[in-house]
Structure 1
Amino acid sequence: MLKQQLRAISSLLTSITMIGICVGMTSTLLSLRATIENFGTLTTGVIMSAYFIGFLFGTTRAPKDIRRVGYIRAFGGLAALAAASILIQAIWIDPTVWFVMRFLTGFAISAIFVIVESWLNTMADNKNRGTLLSVYLVLIYGGLVAGQLILGVADPAGFMAFAIVALLINLALIPILISVTVEPTTHESKKVPIRSLFKLVPLGIVNAFIMQACYAMFYGIGPMYATYIGLSVAQVSLFMASFILGGMLAQAPIGLLSDRFDRRIIMAVCAGLGSVMALVLAQLGASVAWLIYLCVGLFGACVLPLYSLGMAHTNDYLEKDQMVGATGAIIKIGGVGSIIGAPAVAALMQFGAVDFFFLLIMALTAVVCLYSLYRVTRRAKADEQLTSSYAMLGPSQTSDELLTTLVDEHEYQVELAEREAEEEGDEDDEKEAADEIKERS
């Protein structure tokens, strides 16, 4: 059964793998090219944050457009938009243009993830959904690593690297456009306001904000930092690939541990080890490149699973009908952290504090470690933790259900208020009718 389903979605998985390669290449490519063009670290950080602004905007707008024009047509249009935005950045080297194009790229990629994950959820059932999503996420991480390695043989100062990204995005259209799959549907779920969620599971909110800020710092400014300490373009690619590969290999083992022990303890251990590795990386230079690769791989193994751990911990304390809405709220918080992260560390580096790159990440992960331990002392472990098992989450992915939750939140509240008003009106009418009958009697 599983093999048949994998064959059925092979074209979909092929497309998303190519998209993963492009996502992996683009962030590092733009960071390196911005360094070559002397944009400055602060300007580069702002440009990189535009991707996360677009991604966040895509989570609130794209689902409406997808429902209006259909998933297949939307995928084609969004992929074309992403490819065009990449090529425009190669043709027009200007910070303002890059900011706008980076925003459009983030918007398009977020909506593409909506389509792909909705397809996966439609094809899967409860018995193998976890397996299929694990295959999907391994391919995403594999694509991110491959993107870094491809960039190592392409010159970021030229046009070729941008052309490769645009070419791969267009090639990703072919498998999904020729496949025949039933379009997914959405489901109603209970909304969970951010304020209520923070009162219920504060660690989940704090973890999402801080870790997504750290990811944005590393993906957006990491290549620039690696260049500053003396790594070549090929070495920068290995630097970034090691980080992603470490996270990919550690996701499943850490997830299994978190299902057996208190997740907050596992989060504290991962964040604490991540802080130590960040401190070590802050002391290393280009003369020991192999040690940098090893340490950054271990660093990725510690910090990349933290977002998924926080999501699983949050779900431990929620009802099933709250989980989708809660994840939507966490996406919002994480998106804000991503938007702030890259410019914040870039501002420090702009004023000559290059060494502060990993030191700031160290401080942030230490906060997660200490706060996780603090929450252990304030609240008992969830009684039914095993009922909401850990799930691997990619660095920038969402699902149609989650995004639809964000889009419809306001509309839902309005509809609910109107429904309650109607019910109250019906009760008043019934009361008046009863009184009239009594009077006639």
Structure 2
Amino acid sequence: MTRPATFGSALRSSWALLLGFSILMLGDGLQGTLLAVRADQEGFSATITGLIMSSFYVGFLLGSIITPKITANVGHIRVFAALAALASASILVHAIFVQVPIWIALRFISGLCFAGLYIVAESWLNDRATNETRGKLLSLYMVVSYLGVGAGQLLLNLADPSEYLLFILTSVLISIAVVPLLLSAGSPPAFRESVNISLRDLFRLSPLGLVGIFAVGLVTATFFALGPVYGQRIGLDIKNISYFMAAAVVGTIILQGPLGALSDRYDRRIVLTIVSLLAALAAVICGSLSQNSNLMLFLSAALFGGFAFPLYSICLAYTNDHLDPSQMIAASGALVLISGLGAVLGPVLIASIMERYGTQTFFWSMGAVHGLIGVFALVRMVMRAPVPLDKQGPVSPSAAPHTGSVMEGVQQLAHDEAIDDELGE
């Protein structure tokens, strides 16, 4: 199909995709918080809850691997419809069987489905864009993702998590999300394969980038998996838990752009160091204020989210600064794996720390992780010369570790296409 030449025409051809994805993210944002709150209400320990929530990311890793192969065989439309149906059904089964092994299996299935849904939707959206419109279109997509996840937290207030209604609502949202995507005009995109790159080579090229991506994946997954449990255990009611979770997303929306712009203008390692230490400080403040004013807790959570979560995009950009263009598509798959491993480990590890040393260690542990990122960035500044500013690529805004790497690959695919066009002229 012919790609729209202007951003306006690209937006008109993509509104159904963006609408469908916003509805999907509403369901995604609601289901994570709902399950964490319900698990705590059922008396599950923080460790067990962390294990349940981590299984989502195990499924996500597998989904990231198998979705491209399945899509190449049966096509985008069938894959998206099948995965959405499975994800919609799995959330309903949570309400029927409140048992730890079943919830672990269901979260695994949900993670696998959402990995595929993200990959299909993002590659489809990219097919609607040109090199001139891709950056704006994907940035809008990220804003839609943030808003969907944030608004999904607030839906928790509509009913009691111990009842069926919120599970049904989540299922309905995921099911409805299919409609505008499947009715969008145009042919589905082709799916391109890429060559492999080893983790060893990637670590050799950018140790700070990989360590940072792993750490931010760990913290982000931990916050969204255990944040509702933390809020419930410090005495927040359902309404304030939803505000607490949404505050972190709002902070991310506000600071994502400015922090990315700073890292484009200055040595990324300096920005990484400062922002990591600010995230660590915000985490300490959150842990200290948890028993006091709710308003101060929400503000400090917004600061924590604003400094902590955008680090993922900066780490991705820093890693790409040290790669050849031919390596970046393959590297995106490895970055999904690295961030996914952190996401699997984080909730289980920090939940165990909370059980042993107390609820307040939730934020303190995440603060320690960000402090270590800042220290490691300082060490790398001593050991390695900076990348010249004119050689740095732009930061791609990323809503979450699992979507960020996909988008980096998508944007680099566009870069490779531009090179191919130039060589062909």
Residue of structure 2 in register with 1:399 after alignment: 406
Alignment of 1:25-104 (within 5 A): 25-104=30-109
Per the alignment, residue 310 of structure 1 pairs with: 315
Match of 1:257 among 262, 277, 282: 262
Decide whether the 8 Å contact of 1:152 with 1:235 is kept in 2: no
Deviation by residue 1:91-128 (Cα, 9 ceiling, x = unmatched): 11111111011001100001001111111111111111
Cα 1:401–1:264 change in 2 (3 A) is: closer
Residue of structure 1 aligned with 2:183, choices 178, 186, 201: 178
Work out the CA distance in 2 between the residues paired with 1:283 and 1:401: 36
Aligned equivalent of 1:373 = 378
1:132 is matched with which residue? 137
Q: Is the 8 A contact 1:264 1:372 kept in 2?
A: yes
Going from structure 1 to structure 2, the CA distance change for 1:384 and 1:317 (only over 3 Å counts) comes to: farther
Distance, in Å, in 2 between the alignment partners of 1:231 and 1:257 is 36
Name the structure 2 match of 1:297.
302
RMSD: 1.6
Corresponding residue to 1:246 among 237, 251, 254: 251
Q: Distance in 2 between matches of 1:401 and 1:285?
A: 36
SS in structure 1 of the partner of residue 385 of structure 2: coil
TM-score (norm 2): 0.92
Q: Distance in 2 between matches of 1:125 and 1:362?
A: 40
Indicate how the Cα distance of structure 1 residues 253 and 384 shifts in structure 2: closer, same or farther if over 3 A, else same.
closer
What amino acid is the match of 1:195? R
Shift of 1:295: 0.3
Deviations 1:352-375 (A, max 9, x none): 521211111111000000111111
C-alpha distance in 1, partners of 2:211/2:353? 22
Kept in 1, the 8 Å contact 2:10–2:133? The answer is no
Q: 1: CA distance between counterparts of 2:140 and 2:237? A: 33
Tell me which residue corresponds to 1:156: 161
8 Å CA contact retained: 1:187, 1:401: no
Match of 2:274 in 1: 269
Structure 2 Cα separation of the partners of residues 286 and 12 of structure 1: 42
Corresponding position of 1:225: 230
Q: Distance in 2 between matches of 1:382 and 1:205?
A: 16
Counterpart CA distance in 2 for 1:305 and 1:59 is 22
Q: Confirm or deny that 1:187 pairs with 2:192.
A: yes
Q: Which amino acid aligns with 1:264?
A: R
- Contact 1:153 / 1:234 at 8 angstroms: preserved in 2? no
* Structure 1 unaligned spans of 5+: 406-441
Are the equivalent residues in 1 in contact too, given 2:336–2:406 (CA < 8 A)? no
Deviation at 1:202, TM superposition (A): 0.2
| Deviating more after overlay: 200-209 vs 61-70 | 61-70
Call closer, same or farther: CA 1:117–1:37 in 2, change over 3 Å.
same
Other-structure match for 2:114: 109
Which segments of 5 or more consecutive residues in structure 2 lack a partner in the other structure? 1-5, 413-425
Deviations 1:412-440 (A, max 9, x none): xxxxxxxxxxxxxxxxxxxxxxxxxxxxx
Matches within 5 A, 1:200-219: 200-219=205-224
Report the CA distance between 1:190 and its aligned residue: 4.2
Distance (Å, rounded) in 1 between the aligned partners of 2:59 and 2:211: 22
Contact 2:54–2:345, Cα closer than 8 Å, also in 1? yes
Please point out which of 7, 10, 18 is paired with 1:5. 10
Q: 2: CA distance between counterparts of 1:296 and 1:258?
A: 23
Structure 2: distance between partners of 1:170 and 1:197: 38
Quote the Cα distance in structure 1 between the aligned partners of 2:80 and 2:291: 42
Q: Once the two structures are superposed, what CA deviation does each residue of 1:282-306 show, in whole Å capped at 9, x if it has no partner?
A: 1113440000000000111101110
The 8 Å contact of residues 158 and 166 in structure 2, kept in 1 or not, is answered as: no
Letter in 1 for 2:280: S
Does the CA contact (< 8 Å) of 1:63 and 1:400 recur in 2? no
Alpha-carbon distance in 2 for matches of 1:298, 1:13: 27
Which structure is larger by alpha-carbon Rg, 1 or 2? Answer: 1
2:37–2:161: 8 Å Cα contact kept in structure 1? Answer: yes
Partner of residue 346, structure 1: 351
Identity rate of aligned residues, in percent? 36
Q: 1:385 to 1:278 in 2, by over 3 A?
A: farther
Q: Quick check: 48-57 or 65-74, which moved more?
A: 65-74
State how far apart, in whole Å, the 2-side matches of 1:379 and 1:35 are: 46
Once residues 260 and 409 of structure 2 are traced to their aligned partners in structure 1, the CA distance between those partners, rounded to angstroms, is 22
- What residue number does 1:22 align with? 27
After TM superposition, the structure 1 stretch with the greater mean CA deviation from structure 2, 188-197 or 392-401, is: 392-401
Matches of 2:56 and 2:193, distance apart in 1 = 29
Aligned counterparts of 1:187 and 1:197: Cα–Cα separation in 2: 21
Going from structure 1 to structure 2, the CA distance change for 1:271 and 1:278 (only over 3 Å counts) comes to same
8 Å contact kept, 1:53–1:335 = yes
Partners of 1:155 and 1:286 in 2: how far apart? 24
Distance verdict in 2 for CA 1:382–1:189, change over 3 Å? farther
Q: Which amino acid aligns with 1:257?
A: L
* Number of equivalenced pairs: 404
